[in-house]
């Protein structure tokens, strides 16, 4: 079947134009190598010495991530307007005595709170930043634990709020049996930032050591790792400055969670592209070229591949911009700009170093002018897989076995739960985690962020008996530890604690028995929300409606939005990658199935993560942004490897039948692609050094997904799918030939010995076309 001419023309990029650009670029970075090196060193020094611009950053609470029409935020705003005293706080102090709190200690808790609240009760609240406005003891039924909510003046930073709470809690440490803890969303966020900052540099150093070892072993060189470290270091310094400058100028956020991701991504992609350039340089030197000519040939051949591969990753991560709220959108430009910086460094700095060092790059390994290049050292296993996948029967078996492995691995994904907790992911021994454990043992874990149920209706405060029945019904719901409401009403109505002063609203403080931002609490609250109208009717509350506010309600809305955004963003990423692959391969059919295989690999990685963390490790769920961000990253990086692997097959298929092209191109490039995949997987695996559950989840998903891609999808499923598609895979192009018998081992070895992925050494007739053909 032949495509219409307009379709073929739309997928064709003039080779002469790209060839001319490639030759000009090659001359610039190789001939001007010293200028390029000095320029990059000056830029690196400048970004270290010059002050960074201010700007960027995110919201101060998870509610700031919600859209303007959030129901939870609207209910909370109405509660603030109708009630004189707030009951929702992000910071609390826990006083605990395992033997039970004595009456003296309980009195001390009340008096210490009154001392900090007296000025506000007298109408003279503190106004300066960094002051406690009020301390409100929470009436609970636990005999060994007392909880006090703290409220601070506006403008007080999160760290200052936590410091004030710690000073407040220190008052109770005058008895040997009494312990005090600072808990809540704000202290937990401060502790997360502390652990991230403490371990970030350790992660960076260990990651650099890892890639140095892997690159050194791959190329049997002590110089090549140093070049990679220098390139990655320069790229990282520049990327950090570019991100901060762009955030300040464009106003997008740079969440703390981005730092390890951008570091791993930058180091990983620069190392991968270095491996590709080093392999090409070694191949050219093995063919007997001098260092400058070898560098030119390497840039001309590998440069377009690196450029297109980098474009696929940058464009794929930029698809995060279609998300509906700020945190997810912030990941898009940050990750995309990081990749762009990595690509620019790889395309300029690395070739200049190649031209300067020449064969010294591979010291102490010797250069083999006989032509036994590094690429052709592929093992017998890689050769056998390529031969098998190039046959129709072998390809069918490979696809069936691959799908049989990946589909079951992906099935646990249906049980995915999203977790927004800041405290549950903290390491053992963390002070906030210890305080949360005390509340867990006392059965009032949710007291650190209670849920407020607001009942509104004309004169509803007069229906006290019905409201008390409603309170009893709430207390009987699964997941509820305690409910504070009209039954307790600790103060007179005029204080606006339970009933609004106009009598048109009543509120109930629901304390859940699990982490209020965890997946379990979110599920419990969603079930309560679904039954609120029924509970009101059963209690006999007439003419009233109920709304829900609080951090659990906010987390519930975020979980729903995350799930919706996940699919929208994945579809956008797949669409972007399809366009790039279609243009690169000049085909429409093959990119669809190649992306389908990549998507299946991503689903398998996510499914395995759910199985390990929710099943084996009993985590409440995956941190809400983790599956979202990692899925997009894996799709983008999978397309990056499609460019590497399929580009080689497509180029080889321009010279020989598809079966022979697969049997030659796959083992010929296997070593470089496998090394790149292992390096990138190892880089992201090192993120697990940061002792927070969210980063360990990121590390597992990324490492699992990249290893699946490196050792199953790319070497097995990709050639098998292309073999089954045959000529149809290149539609609407007709460049693929499918004639010819399957190769045996000797024929494959002979073709590998003759393999020349470049144009004639003596000629200058290179013309690079999209799809790798020349």
CB atoms within 10 A of CB 170: 12
Identify the weakest region by mean pLDDT among 316-330, 392-406, 497-511, 612-626: 316-330
Reported as a single tens digit per residue, the pLDDT across 63-119 is: 455 666 788 888 988 888 888 777 788 899 999 999 999 999 999 999 999 999 888
Report whether 204 contacts 16 (CB < 8 A): no
Retrieve residue 723's tokens. 């073999």
726 pLDDT tier (thresholds 50, 70, 90): confident
Q: Which ranges in 540-624 belong to alpha helices (H)? A: 551-585, 589-609
Report whether 680 contacts 706 (CB < 8 A): yes
Identify the weakest region by mean pLDDT among 321-330, 498-507, 572-581: 321-330
According to DSSP, residue 62 is labeled G
* N-terminal to C-terminal alpha carbon distance within the chain: 25
For residues 558 and 117, what is the distance between their CA atoms, to the nearest angstrom? 34
203 pLDDT tier (thresholds 50, 70, 90): very high
Give me the pLDDT at residue 756, please. Answer: 56
Residue 681 pLDDT exceeds 90:
yes
Report whether 322 contacts 572 (CB < 8 A): yes
Identify the weakest region by mean pLDDT among 149-153, 162-166, 173-177, 262-266: 173-177
Residue 492 pLDDT exceeds 80:
no
What is the Cα Rg of the chain in Å? 31
For residues 738 and 726, what is the distance between their CA atoms, to the nearest angstrom? 6
CATH class of 91-183: alpha beta
For residues 573 and 508, what is the distance between their CA atoms, to the nearest angstrom? 44
Reported as a single tens digit per residue, the pLDDT across 346-397 is: 999 999 999 999 999 998 887 665 444 445 455 677 788 888 888 888 989 9
Cβ burial, residue 414 (10 Å; 0-12/13-18/19+): exposed
Give me the pLDDT at residue 760, please. Answer: 36
- What integer is the mean pLDDT of 321-350? 88
- What integer is the mean pLDDT of 640-647? 82
Give me the pLDDT at residue 10, please. Answer: 47
The full set of domain ranges for the chain reads 5-56+190-412+556-749, 91-183
Report whether 146 contacts 172 (CB < 8 A): no
- Of 703, 668, 707, the C-alpha closest to 685 is 703
Report whether 167 contacts 120 (CB < 8 A): no
Q: Is 593 left (phi over 0), alpha (psi -120 to 50) or beta?
A: alpha
For residues 451 and 484, what is the distance between their CA atoms, to the nearest angstrom? 10
- DSSP assignment of 636-666 equals HHHHHHHHHHHHHHHHHHTTS-HHHHHHHHH
Report whether 413 contacts 606 (CB < 8 A): yes
Retrieve residue 563's tokens. 């799930």
For residues 684 and 271, what is the distance between their CA atoms, to the nearest angstrom? 13
624 pLDDT tier (thresholds 50, 70, 90): confident
Give me the pLDDT at residue 15, please. Answer: 46
Reported as a single tens digit per residue, the pLDDT across 252-298 is: 777 788 889 999 999 999 999 999 999 889 988 888 888 889 998 89
In three-state secondary structure terms, 224 is helix
Average pLDDT score, the chain: 85
Torsions phi, psi for 326 (to 5 deg): -60, -40
Reported as a single tens digit per residue, the pLDDT across 20-78 is: 555 666 678 888 899 999 999 999 999 988 887 765 554 444 545 566 678 888 898 88
Residue 740 pLDDT exceeds 70:
no
- Of 414, 402, 403, 328, the C-alpha closest to 610 is 414
Retrieve residue 673's tokens. 């692609």
Residue 593 pLDDT exceeds 50:
yes
Cβ burial, residue 436 (10 Å; 0-12/13-18/19+): buried
Retrieve residue 570's tokens. 């994945």
- H or E, element range at 155: none
- Of 19, 13, 15, the C-alpha closest to 764 is 19
Residue 569 pLDDT exceeds 50:
yes
Q: Whole-model pTM? A: 0.86
- What integer is the mean pLDDT of 696-722? 94
- Of 114, 100, 187, 88, the C-alpha closest to 146 is 100
Q: What is the CATH number of domain 5-56+190-412+556-749?
A: 1.20.1640.10
For residues 744 and 390, what is the distance between their CA atoms, to the nearest angstrom? 11
């Amino acid at each position: 079947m032949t495509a219409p001419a307009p379709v073929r023309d739309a997928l064709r990029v003039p080779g002469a134009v790209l060839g001319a650009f490639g030759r000009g670029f090659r001359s610039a970075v190789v001939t001007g190598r010293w200028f390029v090196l000095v320029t990059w060193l000056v830029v690196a020094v400048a970004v270290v010495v010059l002050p960074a611009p201010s700007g960027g950053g995110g919201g101060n609470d998870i509610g700031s991530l919600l859209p303007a029409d959030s129901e939870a935020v609207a209910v909370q705003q109405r509660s603030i307007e109708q009630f004189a005293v707030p009951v929702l706080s992000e910071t609390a102090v826990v006083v605990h005595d395992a033997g039970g709190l004595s009456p003296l200690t309980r009195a001390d808790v009340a008096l210490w709170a009154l001392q900090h609240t007296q000025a506000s009760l007298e109408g003279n609240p503190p106004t300066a930043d960094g002051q406690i406005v009020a301390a409100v003891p929470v009436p609970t039924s636990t005999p060994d634990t007392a909880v006090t909510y703290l409220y601070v003046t506006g403008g007080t930073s999160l760290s200052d709020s936590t410091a004030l709470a710690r000073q407040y809690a220190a008052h109770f440490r005058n008895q040997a049996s009494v312990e005090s803890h600072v808990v809540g969303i704000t202290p937990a966020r401060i502790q997360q930032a502390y652990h991230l900052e403490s371990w970030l540099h350790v992660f960076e150093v260990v990651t650099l050591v890892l890639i140095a070892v892997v690159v050194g072993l791959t190329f049997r060189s002590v110089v090549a790792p140093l070049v990679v470290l220098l390139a990655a270091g320069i790229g990282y310094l520049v990327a950090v400055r570019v991100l901060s400058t762009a955030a300040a100028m464009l106003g997008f956020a740079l969440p703390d969670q981005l730092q390890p991701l951008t570091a791993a991504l930058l180091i990983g992609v620069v190392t991968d592209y270095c491996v590709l350039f080093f392999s090409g340089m070694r191949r050219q030197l093995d063919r007997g070229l001098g260092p400058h000519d070898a560098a030119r040939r390497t840039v001309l051949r590998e440069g377009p591949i690196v450029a297109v591969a980098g474009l696929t990753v940058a464009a794929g991560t930029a698809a995060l911009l279609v998300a509906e709220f700020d945190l997810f959108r912030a990941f898009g430009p940050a990750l995309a700009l990081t990749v762009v910086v990595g690509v620019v460094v790889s395309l300029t700095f690395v070739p200049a170093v190649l031209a300067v060092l020449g064969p010294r790059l591979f010291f102490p390994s010797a250069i083999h002018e006989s032509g036994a290049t590094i690429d052709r050292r592929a093992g017998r296993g890689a050769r056998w897989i390529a031969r098998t996948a190039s046959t129709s029967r072998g390809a069918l078996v490979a696809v069936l076995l691959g799908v049989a492995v990946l589909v079951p691995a992906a099935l646990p994904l249906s049980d995915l739960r999203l977790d927004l907790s800041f405290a549950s992911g903290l390491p053992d021994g963390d002070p906030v985690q210890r305080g949360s454990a005390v509340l867990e043992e006392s059965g009032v874990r949710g007291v650190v962020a209670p849920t407020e149920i607001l009942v509104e209706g004309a004169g509803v405060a007069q229906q006290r008996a019905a409201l008390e029945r409603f309170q009893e019904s709430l207390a009987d719901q699964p997941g509820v530890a305690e409910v504070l409401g009209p039954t307790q009403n600790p103060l007179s109505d005029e204080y606006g604690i339970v009933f609004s002063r106009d009598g048109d609203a009543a509120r109930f403080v629901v304390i859940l028995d699990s982490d209020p931002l965890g997946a379990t609490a979110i599920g419990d609250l969603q079930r309560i929300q679904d039954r609120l109208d029924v509970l009101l009717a059963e209690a006999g509350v007439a003419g009233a409606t109920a709304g829900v506010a609080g951090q659990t309600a906010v987390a519930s809305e975020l979980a729903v939005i995350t799930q919706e955004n996940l699919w929208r963003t994945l579809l956008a990423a797949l669409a972007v990658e399809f366009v790039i692959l279609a243009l690169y391969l000049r085909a429409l059919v093959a990119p669809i199935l190649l992306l389908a295989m990549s998507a299946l690999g991503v689903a398998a990685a996510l499914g395995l993560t759910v199985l390990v963390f929710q099943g084996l490790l009993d985590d409440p769920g995956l941190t809400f942004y983790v599956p979202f961000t990692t899925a997009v990253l894996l799709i983008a990086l999978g397309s990056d490897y499609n460019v590497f692997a399929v580009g080689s097959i497509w180029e080889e298929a321009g010279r020989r039948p598809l079966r022979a092209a697969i049997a030659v191109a796959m083992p010929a490039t296997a070593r470089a692609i496998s090394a790149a995949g292992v390096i990138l997987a190892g880089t992201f695996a090192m993120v697990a050094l940061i002792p927070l559950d969210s980063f360990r989840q990121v590390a597992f998903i990324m490492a699992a997904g990249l290893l699946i891609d490196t050792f199953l999808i790319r070497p097995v499923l990709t050639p098998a799918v292309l073999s089954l598609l045959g000529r149809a895979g290149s539609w609407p192009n007709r460049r693929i030939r499918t004639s010819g018998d399957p190769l045996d081992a000797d024929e494959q070895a002979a073709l590998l010995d003759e393999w020349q992925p470049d144009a004639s050494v003596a000629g200058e007739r290179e013309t690079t076309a999209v799809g790798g053909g020349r």
